Amino acid sequence: MTTATDLQTAATPREVWELLKAGNERFATGNTADPHRDPETRQQLTAGQNPAVCVVGCSDSRVPVELLFDAGFGDIFVIRTAGGCVDSAVAASVEFAVEGLGVDLVLFLSHETCGAVGAAVGALESGEIPAGLTRLFVEKIAPSVAEARTRGEQIEQAHARNGAEHLAARIPSVVAGLEEKKIGVVGARYRLSDGRVETTYENFGD
């Protein structure tokens, strides 16, 4: 059976994404392989890391990235903020993953029933922008709310697509990697209801 351990030797960004989707299917059906979670792997990783994918996702405790893709230590470079919002520190972290670690794939992952998205929806419906720092992610998510309503789709779907498009267009190393067809960028939404990840955007530089 194919397992997430193959992430380390995947030949192309598309292959990395296919292996991640296969891992998610194992997770959703309760047939996990639980790779790279043993003491030997932890010891090997003291010498350095070689993740295959960088994931920008939400801080929500219900969305443990490595678990839902049936991956383990050293497989995924994860960056998490409320709503998966991208600021300069997140962008710099993605650039480090691409340039410094050589990841093959950059994934923006949203999810169902996201509290940050809910806050943005509430602010737009009430016309009251929250006080304090909460307004930062409300302002970043608001365009996805407006686009989802125009398209008649789930807000988290629009947010995943917008987030992935932002990464593909605004981070120089990602732009260059796509032009050279060395990396891929994907947007996806995780469904808490059934444990599955659905694709909303793909860019492999084709």
Residue 94, both tokens: 């993605």
Tally of domains within the chain = 1
- State the pLDDT at residue 2: 41
Which helix (DSSP H) or strand (DSSP E) does residue 43 occupy? helix 39-44
End-to-end Cα, the chain, rounded Å: 30
Backbone angles phi and psi of 87, in degrees to 5: -115, -170
CA distances (Å), origin 164, targets 46, 88, 91, 149, 193: 31, 15, 12, 19, 23
Residues of the chain where predicted confidence (pLDDT) is lower than 70: 1-5
- State the pLDDT at residue 5: 53
d(CA 72, CA 58): 19
- The whole model's pTM is what? 0.93
Structural domain for 169, as ranges? 4-203
Binding residue ranges: 58, 60, 111, 114
Q: Which CATH number goes with the domain that contains 179?
A: 3.40.1050.10
Judged by DSSP in three states, 140 sits in helix
- State the pLDDT at residue 138: 85
Binding residue ranges for Zn(2+): 58, 60, 111, 114
d(CA 84, CA 141): 9
